[in-house]
Amino acid sequence: MDKRMVLEELRAYYRQLKGTTEYLVKAVDGVNLEVYKKDILGLVGESGCGKSTLAKTMMIDLTPPLQYMGGRLEIISRDGERFEIGQFKSRDEVKRRLWGKHITYVPQDALNALMPTIRIKKIAYDVLRSHNNDINFQEAVKTTKERLAELDLPDYVVELYPFQLSGGMRQRVVLAMATLLNPEILIVDEPTSALDVTTQKIVLKSLLKLRKLNLVDSIIFITHDIATVRQIANRIVVMYAGKIVEVGPVDSVIRDPLHPYTKGLIDSVTSIEPEKREKGISYIPGQPPNLIDPPKGCRFHPRCPYAMDVCKKEEPGVVEVGKTQVACWLYEGGRKND
Ligand SMILES: Nc1ncnc2c1ncn2[C@@H]1O[C@H](COP(=O)(O)OP(=O)(O)OP(=O)(O)O)[C@@H](O)[C@H]1O
């Protein structure tokens, strides 16, 4: 399969000063993942588990207090050009060579990211000109109208100011601006959480369209919402306390979650199905750990109903169960018996 990104034991920590003592917040701590062409990955996990930090690290957007601590990150372009995290001398170089062109990130607060007093056509012109100094304004407007049409937005949107757009329209315009240069990888952080259900669906449709038309090769969709992941993603990536604990095809992970944490996450989703509602709302007991001093062994062990002695002492390796990869001692040497 065509790889677009490879992460091996990737680590990025925040340096935090309390008084005169420095602490390290281990937000991305030994992450392994391969992203393929045509992938739509749903990256899920509780608040604070490191999803946004992983996105920033994938973007090689490492500014203090966030610091790269080791491991590999490789981005592979459609033409086979390879970019390694360690090769860049400055953030400016990363910005010039990677952002927008090969990888792009739409952050959580993207709805407010567009300058309200600059017309869409001028914003798009600036994006396109940052990678092609020779482009003229008319060409830039034409390219922008084409991309807007691909996302089912009318031509006249180029003439508008961001404050004139509704939430859903603005989110699609943000997606259009972020993908004007057809980057291989698009990372979107909670793109639908501030929208009503109907508008959410329109935004999800736009994302699927970007993928289907090959305007982007791979999408990483960060969310708390497993129902949304089910609608859009082909694979689900479950993160807990700075680590990936399970990766697999979306349907099989949701139907038959392997890691006890994934099971807890899925069980805690409120359901509209009466038989599930009757069981009541379940939740994962306890709190996620402090990432300055996470538990030894498996980081989930203090909250895990299946925790064994080994879980408290040693970190589990990754085991393949069917098409799913899971980091859990229950599966070392075979399938869990229960
Ligand atoms: N600037 C910072 N300095 C120190 N620690 C930080 C900083 N930003 C985030 N963290 C910590 O890093 C950890 C991971 O945070 P991150 O925002 O990546 O999680 P998340 O899974 O994206 O959460 P959410 O779903 O709430 O956005 C958390 O413990 C958080 O408190």
Looking at residue 337, what is its pLDDT?
Answer: 47
Residue bearing the CA closest to ligand 1, atom 3: 14
Ligand 1 atom showing the smallest separation from residue 49 Cα:
21
Residue having the nearest C-alpha atom to atom 5 of ligand 1: 14
How many Å lie between the centroid of ligand 1 and the Cα of residue 288? 12
The residue type found at 303 is R
Please check the confidence at residue 218 and state whether its pLDDT lies above 70: yes
ipTM exceeding 0.95, yes/no: yes
pLDDT for 285 equals: 85
DSSP string, 272-333: SSHHHHHT------S-PPPTTSPPSSSTTGGG-TT--HHHHHS---EEEETTEEEE-GGGTT
Distance from Cα 49 to the centre of ligand 1, integer Å: 7
Residue nearest to atom 18 of ligand 1 (CA): 50
Residues of the chain with pLDDT > 90: what percent? 78
Instruction: State the first-to-last Cα distance of the chain, in angstroms, to the nearest integer.
Output: 34
Q: How far apart are alpha carbons 234 and 310 in whole angstroms?
A: 33
Could you identify the atom of ligand 1 that is nearest to the CA of residue 54? 18
More confident residue, 295 or 113: 295
- Asked whether 57 lines ligand 1 (CB < 6 A), one says no
Nearest-atom number in ligand 1 for the CA of 52 is: 22
Which of 87-101, 107-121, 150-164 bottoms out in mean pLDDT, i.e. has the lowest? 107-121
Measure 51 CA to ligand 1 centroid, in angstroms: 8
Interval 116-152: pLDDT, tens: 889 999 999 999 998 888 899 999 999 999 999 999 9
Contact 300, 260 (CB under 8 A): yes
Q: Is 65 in the pocket of ligand 1 (CB under 6 A)?
A: yes
Q: Who wins on pLDDT, 332 or 244?
A: 244
* Model confidence pLDDT, tens digit, residues 221-277: 999 889 899 999 999 999 999 999 999 999 999 999 999 999 999 988 755 455 555
**287 CA to centre of ligand 1 in angstroms:** 15
118: left (phi over 0), alpha (psi -120 to 50) or beta: beta
Q: Quick check: CB of 14 below 6 Å from ligand 1?
A: yes
Centre of ligand 1 from the C-alpha of residue 185, in Å: 22
Q: Average pLDDT for residues 59-64, to the nearest whole number?
A: 96
Using the predicted structure, report yes or no on whether residue 58 has a pLDDT greater than 80. Answer: yes
More confident residue, 278 or 102: 102
Q: What is the position in ligand 1's atom list of the atom closest to the CA of 108?
A: 27
Mean pLDDT, to the nearest integer, of 69-73? 98
Cis peptide preceding 65, ω within 30 of 0:
yes
Domains and CATH numbers, the chain: 3-117+161-331 (3.40.50.300)
Q: Is 52 in the pocket of ligand 1 (CB under 6 A)?
A: yes
